[in-house]
Amino acid sequence: MINIQWFSDHPKYLASPFYIGGDSYAGKIAPFLAQIVSEGLGCYYLLLYERQLSIEEGRRPLINLKGYLVGNAATGESVDFNSRVPYAHGFGIISDQLYETILGHCQGEDYSNPSNALCAQALITFNNLISEVQQAQILLDTCVYASPLPNDANIRMKGSDGRRILKEEIEVGKLDHPPARPKFGCVTYGYYLSYYWANDKRTRDALGIKEGTKDEWVRCHDKDLPYSTDLGSVIKYHRNLTTRGYRALAYSGDHDLLVPHLGTQAWVRSLNFSVVDEWRAWHLGGQAAGFTISYANNMTFATIKGGGHTAPEYEPERCYAMFSRWILNRSL
């Protein structure tokens, strides 16, 4: 829990300011973990681990939680995905007619699981249209996502464009869950290479992974993880943490169609905090790097110009500037 082993090995850092962050789906987990730490449960788990590790009794370690940040974050609310419709309309991906049809027939519906037949049909058309763009960053060409595929050599070779199998593939050997190969130059090509890097014996040895303890590393499991969902909306954790004085930064890449900034803005506004710094541009190198607004209770929202899902993958310099200013408690 919260890198317990690390804190146990390095207790001198317990007094240092501690922040929790997460992007995408981890943006749903981050406020939940921050809530646990804020309630002292993180310290409770730490004590349990200390006893197991024979670390001196009697110490009462405190994790010095100061705040948290989430990027392109899921919340468990329908707004995460429903906001794709107005976003796609605003960027000219869907027509006025389809937009109006969805508004008319999908009122009150969960767009990911509609009960209205007319709404469902309109959303099929919608999904077909947005599949024509790279949803993680709508200005880029569409790419294979480099998620695991069945262990089938024929499937593995599709899209190879006749190129020779990478030397790394041969060295690692046949993976049980090989990813699809994106076109060279696609942003997802790095995801593809990560499978071969992470499963290379030299990498595993360098990371101290004992042979036989861990199976093949897979970047994204495809519906084969044995778990049940018990964490619904995390909006209550955002409200609870910020009203108790913890700092929060919610940021979004403004070209992300997977979890659009419109949805993030909506749930941030739903907290009903008063505005303390009106919507404005924030700058890097004399140019607008995005837009930001600050609310009471130390809640800040910011967009990253050109950022996708997730923003740091596409705009690392702008994200670093945003983060470094925020972590130092400076205005963006």
Q: List for the chain the helix, strand, coil content (%; round to 5).
A: 40, 15, 45
Neighbour order of strands in the sheet with 275-284: 18-23, 65-71, 247-253, 299-304, 287-295, 275-284
Tokens 């949803």, residue?
135
| End-to-end C-alpha distance for the chain, whole angstroms | 31
User: In terms of residues, how long is the chain?
Assistant: 332
User: Quick one: how far is CA 230 from the chain centroid?
Assistant: 19
Distances (CA, A) of 47 to 13, 44, 106: 16, 5, 50
Cβ-count burial of 83 within 10 angstroms (0-12 exposed, 13-18 middle, 19+ buried)? buried
Active site residue 78: no
Token match 């945003």: residue?
322
Cα dihedral across residues 202, 206, 211, 216: positive or negative:
negative
Which long-range contacts (C-beta less than 8 Å, at least 24 apart) are formed by 54-61?
55/8, 59/11, 61/7, 61/11, 61/14
Contact assessment for residue 74 and residue 231, using Cβ atoms and an 8 Å cutoff: no
Residue in 89, 177, 261, 309 annotated catalytic:
309
The answer to whether residue 152 is catalytic is no
Say which of 238, 256, 261, 294 is annotated catalytic.
256
Is 256 assigned a catalytic role? Answer: yes
Helix (H) or strand (E) holding 154: helix 153-157
Q: Are 247 and 66 in contact (CB under 8 A)?
A: yes
Comparing C-alpha atoms, which of 270, 236, 262 is closest to residue 86?
A: 262
Out of 24, 147, 233, 270, which one is annotated catalytic?
A: 24
Catalytic residues: 24, 256, 309
